[in-house]
Structure formats: C-alpha cells, structure tokens
A and B are shown apart, each in its own frame.
Chain A
Amino acid sequence: METSPLATEVVFRLGPVPVSRAVVTTWVIIAALTIVCWLGLRRAKVHAGPLQATLEIIVETMSRQISEVIRRDAWPYMPLLGTLFLFLVVANLVAVVPGMKPPTGRIETPAALAAIVFLSVHYFGVRSRGLVDYLRHYTRPNLLLLPLNVLSEITRTFSLMVRLFGNMMSHELVIAIVALLAGLLLPIPFLLLGVLIGIVQAFIFTVLAAVFIGAAVGSVEAG
C-alpha cells in the first residue's frame, strides 16, 4: 500500500485550483447521467419507449419510497433526494468499469454531499415552517437541550460523511489487499459484495437525508 487512502490524487491544475481524480470521475458521471436522461426524455410520449419507461419506473419507485419515509408528498424534495440517490448509485458502482475508482471513496465527495444535505435541511425547514418556528424546534422539549440539539446537528452531518466515505474506502482497501494476496479468482466474490455495499450505502444516505428533512419540516420525529 504505497499511497494513503486519506490523500487525494491531483490529476491536473486549472489555474490555481487543483483538480483531483475523484472530481474528474464525478464530471464523467454527471455527463453520463445527463445524456441518458436527455436521450430518454427528449421526445417524451404517453406510450413510453423502453428507456423512457425505465426512467419513469425508477422515479416513481423513488418518490413512493421517499414519501413513505417523509410521510407527506415527496415531490418538493425529489429534485434533491432523487438526484442524490441516482448519483450515489452510479458513483458507488463505477468501480465495475475497469480503470475507474468510486469518487465516494475519497473524503472530499462525501464531505460535499453531506454539506449539501446539511444546508438543504435548514432550507426546507425554514421554508415549510417559517424562521422563528423552525428555530424554536431546537429548544424542544426543553431549553436545556439546546446545546445537545445543536451538537447533534453537527455530529449527524459528520457521521453521514464518514459513513459513506468509510464504507466505500474500506471496501476498496479490502479488494486491494485480497488482490495482493491472491490475484486470480479470489477477488470476484468481494467485487460482488461491493455492488451490494454500493447500492445499500446509496440507499442509506438517501433515506437518512430524507429522515433529516422530514424532521426539519416537522412530519417525522427527529432521528
């Protein structure tokens, strides 16, 4: 293991800004998702073709799951949560393509996603309850719990980041060690396990973001 899993590989520099490998992979994923959606929905018809039908099934399933978690209409939150889930699934499974590494296995991508979730939770909370009422929910059930509520706000964002990063990075590390010990056929079950871990982690990240948003807009008890 010559390189640290905590370090970032810089591919090239855009002026003073270093661009890491994870960022380049993220751009490729964004481009691929955009092209697939554009192709599927370029001429949307009532009698949907195979690609359009697949995309519609995915979106319908996501909105049903999210509305079960939030316990109200999911569509105001679908642009955030649906995009998050689709991006995470593709990003976690990108290791299936030879030569690509999941960008979620580096600390910066999960950190950015957790920051997005952190900010949008407050945005949705303030928008649906008003500023005063939203700030008042930090003092419930008692004013004494205000520091603990603020602390839990920070720690849950941090744990959201570390969970995704730790799972993806540790799996990458396990595969590297197994391939070092026996390179031929032994890594294949671990790669299959990686597909499962990637989908489950994307699901968990999205469900937790939905639970946080549900707690902020006041339909779910805080988790």
Chain B
Amino acid sequence: MELNLQMLSIFGAALAVSFGAIGPALGEGRAIAAAMDAIARQPEAVGPISRTLFVGLAMIETMAIYCLVIALLLLYANPFIG
C-alpha cells in the first residue's frame, strides 16, 4: 500500500488535533488551578476572578480551535487534492 496525498492529509489532521489538544489542556489545567487557589484565598473576589478566568480560558482554547480548523481544512478544503 503506497502513501498518497489523501492518506497523508488524514494523518496530518489527526496529528494536528492530537498534539494541538495537549498544550491547551495543560494550560487550561494550570489556569483553573491558579483560579481555584485565588478563590480559596479570597472568596469575596469570585466575580472578577471567574470572569477573567473565562476570558483567559477562551484565549487558551483558541489554540486548540486553530488546530481543529487546520484539520478540517486538510480534510474538507485541501488545496493540494484536486
């Protein structure tokens, strides 16, 4: 079985999503742990902390979404496959 462009695109999509999920997952875990710590120290500041946390999580999550978009481009809108 020889490798062709379709198979390579599928491999590329799987690689993009799998490795693209690791970094944001670690980052989000650290962010949530820090926010939990802050809320435990200062329960009265839960409002601003959770709002900033949500915005920060969205920023981190965008990296994973970028990888997903790359994977979808490879699968559905690949410019190298006619």
Interface set of A (CB-CB < 8 Å, partner B): 4-7, 65, 68-69, 159, 162-163, 166-167, 170, 200-201, 203-204, 207-208, 211, 223
Q: Please give me the residue from chain B that is nearest to A210 by CB atom.
A: B55
**A162 contacts which chain B residues (CB < 8 A)?**
62, 65-66, 69
Residues B65 and A208 in contact, CB atoms below 8 Å apart: no
**B77 contacts which chain A residues (CB < 8 A)?**
4, 6
Given that A4-B76, A6-B77 are contacting pairs, would A163 and B68 also be in contact in the complex, using a CB cutoff of 8 Å?
no
Residues A207 and B54 in contact, CB atoms below 8 Å apart: yes
Given that A68-B48, A166-B69, A170-B68 are contacting pairs, would A6 and B76 also be in contact in the complex, using a CB cutoff of 8 Å?
yes
In order of increasing CB-CB distance, the 9 nearest A-B pairs are A166-B65, A4-B76, A204-B58, A159-B62, A163-B62, A6-B76, A6-B77, A207-B55, A166-B68
Tell me, in angstroms, the Cα distance from A75 to B70 when the chains sit together: 39
Tell me, in angstroms, the Cα distance from A7 to B65 when the chains sit together: 18
Residues A6 and B72 in contact, CB atoms below 8 Å apart: yes
Residues A204 and B72 in contact, CB atoms below 8 Å apart: no
The CB with the most chain A CB atoms within 10 A, among B47, B48, B72, B77, is that of B72
